[in-house]
């Protein structure tokens, strides 16, 4: 009777050490460098968008401050008109900040975390 021992199949193409090193380099680049490049681009566009949005909001609040100062300065006069103008601009800035924080949180929940709604 023939024995039940099976012999491993013969290898026709044994990879050389140089090929293995090249495969490892290619794999490392594919799995580490390329995703980091994509993430860096994502972070760069996010930072640029954040800076431009911040500049826009700052100019909007400054415009509101100047509007309130010029319109209320003639009506009420005194030192409280200046304080009220700054308080109104500050409250408007807080409202805008809260709105943008809410929108960012909503976007993160939908796109990154995959949540459709918060409980």
Stretch 87-105: mean pLDDT: 91
Read off the pLDDT of residues 8-58 as tens digits, 9 standing for 90 and up: 555 556 778 888 888 888 888 888 887 888 888 888 998 999 899 899 999
Domain range list for the chain: 31-112
Mean pLDDT in the chain?
A: 81
**pLDDT confidence band for 100 (50 / 70 / 90):** confident
Tokens 């090929």: give the residue: 19
Beta strands in the chain (DSSP E): none
Q: Which of 50, 63, 55, 49 is nearest to 92 (CA)?
A: 63
Angle at 72 between CA 66 and CA 75, to 5 degrees: 150
Give the number of other Cβ atoms within 10 Å of residue 89's Cβ: 20
Stretch 62-70: mean pLDDT: 91
Contacts of 116 (CB under 8 A, 6+ apart): 110
């Amino acid at each position: 009777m023939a024995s039940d021992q099976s012999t491993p199949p013969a290898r026709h193409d044994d990879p050389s050490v140089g090929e293995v090193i090249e495969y490892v380099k290619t794999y490392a680049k594919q799995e580490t460098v390329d995703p980091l490049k994509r993430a860096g681009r994502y972070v760069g566009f996010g930072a640029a968008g954040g800076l431009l949005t911040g500049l826009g909001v700052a100019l909007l609040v400054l415009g509101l401050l100047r509007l309130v100062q010029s319109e209320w300065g003639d009506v009420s006069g005194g030192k409280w008109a200046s304080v009220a103008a700054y308080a109104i601009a500050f409250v408007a800035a807080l409202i805008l900040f809260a709105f943008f924080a809410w929108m960012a949180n909503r976007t993160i929940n939908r796109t990154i975390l995959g949540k459709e709604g918060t409980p």
